[in-house]
């Protein structure tokens, strides 16, 4: 493992300390700030999967959106040539 010294604000330090405290309570053992930071990052990555399928739109809205995307692509490809 590589060890580095970093500077963080007092606010971020307290936030990380809160995360580490909650994680320690959940696991029943001491954890490092590195573990707390890693745990927080992995939770954020997983959260996006909870949103899958949550954006609902009608077929008409989908066709309009795709039409806008395709027309913008044509404009960009014309600029490139």
39-68 pLDDT, tens digit each: 888 776 666 667 777 778 889 998 999 999
Looking at the structure of the chain, the number of domains it has is 1
Q: Is residue 66 a part of any domain in this protein?
A: yes
Q: Is residue 64 a part of any domain in this protein?
A: yes
Q: Is residue 33 a part of any domain in this protein?
A: yes
Q: Is residue 3 a part of any domain in this protein?
A: no
Q: Is residue 5 a part of any domain in this protein?
A: no
Q: Is residue 70 a part of any domain in this protein?
A: yes
Q: Is residue 37 a part of any domain in this protein?
A: yes
Residue scoring higher pLDDT (35 or 76): 35
Asked if residues 19 and 39 have their Cβ atoms less than 8 Å apart, the reply is yes
**Domain span at residue 21?**
10-80
CB burial string 18-35: b at 16+ within 10 A, e below: ebbeebeeeeeeebeeee
Q: Which of 3-7, 16-20, 33-37, 52-56 is least confident?
A: 52-56
């Amino acid at each position: 493992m590589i060890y580095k010294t970093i500077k963080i604000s007092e606010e971020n330090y307290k936030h990380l300390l809160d995360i580490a405290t909650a994680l320690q309570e959940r696991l029943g053992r001491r954890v490092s700030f590195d573990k707390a930071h890693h745990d927080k990052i992995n939770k954020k990555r997983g959260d996006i999967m909870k949103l899958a399928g949550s954006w609902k739109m009608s077929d008409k809205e989908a066709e309009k959106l795709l039409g806008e995307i395709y027309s913008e692509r044509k404009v960009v490809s014309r600029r490139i040539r």
